[in-house]
Amino acid sequence: MANAVASPEKGTEQQGLFNPANYINGIWHKDGDGNFATVVDKYHGTRLAQLPLASIGQVEEAVAAAFASRGSLRRMSAGERSDKLEALALLMEQRKEELAQLIMQEAGKPIGYARDEVARSLTTVRTAAAEVLRFGGEITPVDFGKGTGKTAFTKRYPAGVVCAVTPFNFPLNLVLHKVAPAMAVGCPVVLKPAKKTPLSALALGRMIEEIGWPKGAFSVLICATSLTEAMVKDDRIAMLSFTGSDEVGWRLKAISGKKKVTLELGGNAAVIIDRGTDLASAAKSVAIGANLYAGQTCISTQRVFVVKPEFDQFRDLLVKEFNALKSGDPSDPEVSVGPLIGKGDFDRIATWVDEAVKGGAQLLAGGEPVDAAHHVYAATLLTGTGRSMKVDCAEVFGPITIIEPVQDFAEGIVRVNDSNYGLQAGVFTNNFAHVKQAHEELEVGGVIINGIPGFRIDSMPYGGVKDSGLGREGLKYAMEEMTEPRLIVY
């Protein structure tokens, strides 16, 4: 079986890192429904792999094998599951540079950020391996009234088969945020990665095969949307864990029936700049947080609200930082703003900026392609925007940020909350009363003090409210989502 990645113009090869096939019940299938997905280098446009789309019969085989594997996983001790996760981390460690290069190519992610993703992925797996050994139920006090003399406690049991659907922007770590906790608690997984960036998931599948994980307990499928929806409806699937757009996520939840659902969706994350803040330091953080990986993260800084006494100075500092960012080839270690994931998104970004400017917004930085042939758009800063503009109310998922003045901190909170989304927010302040106020009043899943909303440690609870999602990821929290407590009283 062919198993190399090649970029003809660059002559690069990652021999043996992944198989260009669907992984089902311990077997790599090069055949499918007759259709193929072509994965390209997002900067050079060269072909990395051509992958068969799974047939309806293969999807059925994957789901049936996962359902049948529940018993073998249930019989594994916590120590055995931890050892397997440690073995997986060891393989990833040995291949970390290959994985980083693969992420850079298939996702167009700047190489420094790709290496950071691999490092975070290792933390994700190792944290899961450690969490297995301390994860359990709780003592339930009942020794009073009619429960006098009784003892009660819970033990957590795997919910069952998890259907994991993952996005393009973190093709390894966001996959592992579903796969690692599922392995930790003993849930089989049928994984459907993004068609634009499935190669890291296939590389992970090969490593999971190498560590001797039970056959059928993990499958990787590249398939049509209709087959993904069929899996979501299947009663043998106990849980849907989805990361992606709010439109798709809520649709899948609507058709999922009675199964458990975790949704990590989009956002238009905001920052408040309060009085007395270190403006120079905050401007540098915000510029990076808004534009790293061309803003293609759900907690990329999109909206900035600055109290009026600080607005002019902070605006000028932020413009300087935006203009200092380097755009271009993601293989250059100094590049922050690489290519957008495809031409459709590149064109959409340009259209949204043009619409905002025609609607009265003022362009402070960027606002034009850097390299249209490679889908690189400049880090763009706008002011004077309106709430109805897409750059304000929608999720940009690109290198566009708006900056607006507010009268005071209270108005900043109102402006942050004036959104259909609520994932994370950043607050730069030295006023502890405002720290408390932000925590109490901001309608988001997480508040980052003196930091950007893009801050994430992989063990922390992560998720949002409103259109930003349902449930929480982060290893222990995902393990709780993937299990059910069972009470015993005696």
Q: Which residues are catalytic?
A: 264, 298
Buried b (16+ CB within 10 A) or exposed e, 169-188: bbbbbbbbbbbbbbbbbbbb
Other CB atoms within 10 A of residue 201 CB: 25
From first CA to last CA, the distance across the chain in angstroms is 57
Rounded to whole angstroms, how far apart are CA atoms 269 and 483? 30
Cβ atoms 56, 227 nearer than 8 A: yes
Q: Which helix (H) or strand (E) holds 286?
A: helix 279-291
Rounded to whole angstroms, how far apart are CA atoms 164 and 239? 8
Distances (CA, A) of 291 to 106, 261, 303, 311, 381: 19, 31, 12, 20, 10
CA angle 106, 321, 380 (to 5 degrees): 60
Pick from 398, 485, 482: nearest CA to 177: 482
Cβ atoms 118, 92 nearer than 8 A: yes
Strand 483-489 to strand 152-158: parallel, antiparallel, or no bridges (unpaired)?
A: antiparallel
DSSP H stretches of helix in 69-188: 70-74, 78-94, 96-107, 111-132, 173-185
Other CB atoms within 10 A of residue 38 CB: 10
